[in-house]
Amino acid sequence: MSELSPTAAPPRPRDLVAVVVALVLPTIVTWLYFFQADDMRPAAQLLVFNTVKTVQFCFPLFWVLAIQRGRVTLRPTTTRGIDVGITFGGVVAATMFALYLIFLRASQPVVDATEIIIDKVSGWGINEPWKYGLLGLFYALIHSFLEEYYWRWFVFGQLRRFIPLWPAAIISALGFMAHHVLVLGKFCGFDSPLTYFLSACVAIGGAFWAWLYDRSGSLMGPWLGHMLIDAAIFAIGFDLIRGYFAT
C-alpha cells in the first residue's frame, strides 16, 4: 500500500486563499446535501451528495496539480503512527459506547434524533440492514480516508507551510468541526448542548490527527483511528434505528 506525497512550489499568498476555500467548502457541501436536498427523492438526494462530495474531494488535487504545478507521488506506507492512531481510535470508540449506553441512549436529544435519523436514512433509500451496513462500510473505510486526505494532507499540510504546528492544527480542526456542527445540529438540535459538546470532541480529534500526521508523516495512523470511530458511530446509529428495519 502507498500514500500520497505532495511536491509543490514554495508557498504563495494564493495558497492561503485555497486554504480558506477548503476550510468552508465542506460546510457548504453539507448544507446542500444535508439540508437543501432533504425533501428530494432518494435518487436525487444521492445525486446531490455524489456531486458535491466529488467537487469537495477533487479540489485539493486540482489545486496541487493544476495551480501549484506540483506533483503527487506515491511513497511506501510507513508503520509510524499506526499504533498511536489505533489506540486513540479504540479508546474514543469505547468511550462513545460507554457514554451512549450509560447516559445518552435514553436521553431526550438522542430520542428526538432517532426519528430524524430514520427520515434521513429512508430519504437515501436505505430500507434494509444490509444497505445500512454498506453505507457504514463506505463511511468507515473510504470516506474516513478521503477526509484525512482532505483535512490533514491538504488543509493542515498547506497551513503548515505558513504557520507553526499547533496554530495549523487548531485552524484545520475548527474547519473539520464546522460541518459536523450542521450534521449534529440537524439530529440533536441547534439549541442542544449535546450538539456543541460532540462538535468540540470532533475538533479535539481533528487536532490530534493533525499532530499525529505531522509527527509520523503518514495518513495511516489518523485514517485507522478515524475508521474505528466512524464504525462506532454507525454501530450506535444502527442500535438507535433497528426498529425501523423491523417494520
Which cell numbers in the block locate residue 120? Answer: 434521513
pTM score: 0.94
The CA angle 190-206-56, to the nearest 5 degrees, is 80
Quote the number of domains for the chain: 1
Picking from 153, 144, 143, 162, the residue whose alpha carbon sits closest to that of residue 73 is: 153
Burial class (CB within 10 angstroms; exposed 0-12, middle 13-18, buried 19+) of 142? exposed
Sign of the C-alpha dihedral computed for residues 200, 202, 203 and 205 taken in this order: positive
A 10 A CB-CB count for 16 gives 15
The span from the CA of 33 to the CA of 28, in Å, is: 9
Domain that holds residue 190: 2-246
pLDDT in tens, the chain (247 residues): 345 555 556 788 999 999 999 999 999 999 999 999 999 999 999 999 999 999 999 999 999 999 998 888 777 778 999 999 999 999 999 999 999 999 999 999 999 999 999 999 999 999 999 999 999 999 999 999 999 999 999 999 999 999 999 999 999 999 999 999 999 999 999 999 999 999 999 999 999 999 999 999 999 999 999 999 999 999 999 999 999 998 7
Which cell numbers in the block locate residue 173? Answer: 480542526
pLDDT tens readout for residues 46-58: 999 999 999 999 9
